[in-house]
A = this chain, B = another copy of it.
Amino acid sequence: MSEAVEKILANYEGENPGVIGNLRRMLNHGTLGGTGKMVILPVDQGIEHGPGRTFGPNPAGYDPGYHPMLATEAGCNAYAAPLGFIEAIARQYAGTLPLILKVNNSDSLADVGGFQSALTSQVRDAVRLGCSAIGFTIYPGSKFRNVMYQQIRDLIAEARQAGLPTVMWAYARGNMDKDAETAVDVIAYAAHTACQLGAHVVKVKPPTAHLAREDARKVYESIPTETLADRIRHVKQAAFDGRRIVIFSGGAAKDTDSVLEDIRQIHAGGGDGSIMGRNAFQRPLPEAKALLASVMAIYKG
């Protein structure tokens, strides 16, 4: 029984024991198990960006068996992927590695006239495949907001009845310019929105110091946003004063020092962890494991 984990779970006190059990399972798994911090390996970039761009840099990643092996050996808390990748490995990994089924996905081939992922799998897929959570992407800012929010409204309810928590990817996109997508006020807004929609775990990008919304400019004068740590702190504050788990993505693959500096700031700001895909699986296995070990060492503090 980890005190750090139980303290976090106390924030979800109205939730049923099935959902709590799966959150606990993820929080207690892997190298960071019991610390209250999480590092999740997500591999949905094959469909999101195309297989060549995604797995070309490290062709071992074309194999759906590669990623849960990496997640296991690197000691990640969980592995997240779309239906096909989970189906290919669930028989082998269910019950040993917490699996998160991404139930919606976008791709780069289509232009659907705005930002909205396609529903690509069902809650009952997550159940039959022995998953510990569903994952869902929202695009706060998209003109398709109402469709997306209604979808996740229904999926969260169905997942709860199956004892599954929801991890929500919240990417601000649509009614804003590129800089706004990672502006600290917008990231905070996206994180808060995800929490209000009922997400158990929220995933956002690390916020920049940019302020995107004129109407928020004044109030941000008194909110420290200079360092990434400051901004992470503010995002956590927006996530119900820290009562919801917020983890941060690393974005496109980059050099190790940059990655680790980000992690140090996320940790300093009270972030709950990272979701690290391309920076992990696009490196050769030993490098990926070394990087993830360094990341986890920082979160262990």
C-alpha spacing A51/B51, complex, angstroms: 38
The residue that A91 contacts in the complex, of B20, B82, B108, B109, with Cβ under 8 A, is: B20
A212-245 with Cβ < 8 A to chain B: 213, 215-216, 219-220, 222-223, 234, 237-238, 240-241, 243-244
The answer to whether the Cβ of A116 comes within 8 Å of any Cβ in the partner chain is yes
A92-123 with Cβ < 8 A to chain B: 92-96, 105, 107-113, 116-122
Whether A51 lies near B118 (C-beta < 8 A) is no
Whether B216 lies near A110 (C-beta < 8 A) is no
Instruction: Return chain B residues, CB-CB under 8 Å to A110.
Output: 140-143, 145, 174-175
Q: With A127-B163, A141-B109 in contact, do A87 and B14 touch (Cβ < 8 Å)?
A: yes
Contact digits for A55-67, partner B, Cβ 8 Å, 1 yes 0 no? 1110100111000
Whether B223 lies near A122 (C-beta < 8 A) is no
C-alpha spacing A80/B68, complex, angstroms: 31
The residue that A121 contacts in the complex, of B13, B15, B85, B198, with Cβ under 8 A, is: B198
A197-220 with Cβ < 8 A to chain B: 197-199, 213, 215-216, 219-220
Q: With A83-B197, A110-B174, A120-B197 in contact, do A62 and B238 touch (Cβ < 8 Å)?
A: yes
How far does the Cβ of A48 sit from chain B's closest Cβ, in whole Å?
10
A1-47 with Cβ < 8 A to chain B: 1, 11-25, 28, 46-47
Number of copies: 5
Instruction: Return chain B residues, CB-CB under 8 Å to A161.
Output: 124, 127-128
A155-169 with Cβ < 8 A to chain B: 157, 161-163
A249-297 with Cβ < 8 A to chain B: none
Q: With A64-B240, A185-B52 in contact, do A153 and B121 touch (Cβ < 8 Å)?
A: yes
The residue that A146 contacts in the complex, of B49, B118, B223, with Cβ under 8 A, is: B118
Nearest residue, chain B, Cβ from A148: B118
The answer to whether the Cβ of A134 comes within 8 Å of any Cβ in the partner chain is no
Q: With A140-B107, A197-B84 in contact, do A95 and B128 touch (Cβ < 8 Å)?
A: no
The 9 closest A-B pairs by CB, nearest first: A21-B94, A21-B130, A21-B95, A24-B95, A56-B219, A17-B90, A118-B149, A63-B241, A84-B196
Question: What 9 new A-B contacts, CB under 8 Å, besides A82-B196, A88-B240, A107-B145?
Answer: A13-B91, A14-B17, A46-B238, A56-B220, A63-B241, A85-B196, A110-B141, A118-B145, A121-B198
